[in-house]
Amino acid sequence: MQRLNGKTALVVGAGSIGPGWGNGKATAVTFAREGAQVFCVDRNLEAAEETVDIIKAEGGRGIAFAADVSRADEIEAMVAACVKAWDGIDVLDNNVGIAETGGVVEVAEADWDRVFAINLKSAYLAMKYVIPIMQRQGGGSIVNISSIASIRHLGISYVSYAASKAAMNALTRNTAVEYAKDHIRVNAILPGLMKTPMVAHSAGLAASYSGGDVDAMWRARDAQVPMGHMGEAWDVANAALFLASDESKYITGLELVVDGGLTLKVN
């Protein structure tokens, strides 16, 4: 069953920072496999093109586009290009994010601002320009990728990341209420500890966990999860598929935790 057949999906952060499957890349491919035509956006055009190549090799439809999603003019151009190509937008998946380690004393002001611009401002801008299109169409689904760091401390200090994702939850809830009357659903996914290229390439996380040893970091993160292992990008992609599809047509303002039970633990 193709659950997104005939729909246009705009995936922001559809590339991957390194080899393997990031959440956005897996989501874009999953949407395409379920019948959507996918507008794949990434700051790195080559990364977006790699995702589109996979989609096309499987017989799907995709377009790659480069944008700095912290800039309003580039977001506006991104949305306009998607609409020009495919006449509308049925699904928006906001999947960009970076993590900087450190508490409020250690984090530089410039790093704080950069994390909020990429993690939060990007979602605000994307929704700002996409929602009017969905209103004219009569509805749509927006999926914002947050984190369980927004609701609990994970033993690693990255306050700017956690704060930006907590703000995304509030942004999601408020927007969900305000546009429910327009049949626009807005939900958030809160991934737990995931084994993705972004985590592998975060020197700060590896240093905090294991003195820079990535393999040791993977083992430590696996041990934290009640299921005994981290999640993978496909777990986030499948959750996003549910929220993007009509199967969740009566769900809005949800914070869907995808964490292998981690947030159920006391410590």
pLDDT tier, 210 (very low <50, low <70, confident <90, very high otherwise): low
Query: Per the domain annotation, does 1 fall within a domain?
Result: no
Burial of 104 (0-12, 13-18, 19+ CB in 10 A): exposed
Query: Per the domain annotation, does 197 fall within a domain?
Result: yes
Query: Per the domain annotation, does 266 fall within a domain?
Result: no
- Average pLDDT on 33-54 reads 97
Catalytic residue list: 161
Query: Per the domain annotation, does 254 fall within a domain?
Result: yes
Domain count, the chain: 1
pLDDT tier, 156 (very low <50, low <70, confident <90, very high otherwise): confident
Q: What is the DSSP string of 230-260?
A: -B-HHHHHHHHHHHHSGGGTT--S-EEEEST
The C-alpha atoms of residue 237 and residue 23 are separated, in whole angstroms, by 6
Paired residues of 199 in beta bridges: none
pLDDT at 128 over 90: yes
Q: 234-264 pLDDT, tens per residue?
A: 999 999 999 999 999 999 999 999 999 999 9
The C-alpha atoms of residue 146 and residue 46 are separated, in whole angstroms, by 25
Q: Hey, what are 172's tokens?
A: 């999601």
pLDDT at 19 over 80: yes
Domain extent for 153: 8-260
Can you give the pTM of this predicted structure?
A: 0.95
Q: Hey, what are 174's tokens?
A: 């408020």
Q: 68-103 pLDDT, tens per residue?
A: 999 999 999 999 999 999 999 999 999 999 988 899
Q: What is the CATH number of the domain that holds 136?
A: 3.40.50.720
